[in-house]
Amino acid sequence: MRSPCVELCGFDAPTGWCQGCGRTREEVRRWRNLLPGDALRVASDLPHRLAKLSIRLAKDGAR
């Protein structure tokens, strides 16, 4: 499976998710070696993670 990296790497401390693609540091490191089913599970969760991250960052920016 192709990497979801969008080359906007920056990890959010509270969640541990990359602000560009939504993966954790560990998922980024292991991406090439993940089994296809594992990569698919991670990839399917990324839109949810990015939406949550966007909401959290917007709330933090409003403070």
The tens digit of pLDDT for each residue in 5-34 reads 999 999 999 999 999 999 999 999 999 999
Would the pLDDT of 60 be above 90?
no
Provide the 8-state DSSP code for 21. T
In a domain, residue 58? The reply is: yes
In a domain, residue 2? The reply is: no
Q: How far apart are CA 54 and CA 31, in angstroms?
A: 23
Specify the number of domains making up the chain. Answer: 1
Confidence of residue 58 (pLDDT cuts 50, 70, 90): very high
In a domain, residue 1? The reply is: no
Provide the pLDDT for residue 19.
Answer: 96
Structure tokens at 46: 């990324």
In a domain, residue 46? The reply is: yes
State which residues form the domain around 22. Answer: 9-63
Give the helix, strand, coil percentages of the chain, each rounded to 5: 55, 5, 35
Provide the pLDDT for residue 62.
Answer: 62
At residue 27, φ and ψ (nearest 5 deg) are: -65, -40
Contact by Cβ (8 Å): 19, 10: yes
Provide the pLDDT for residue 28.
Answer: 97
In a domain, residue 3? The reply is: no
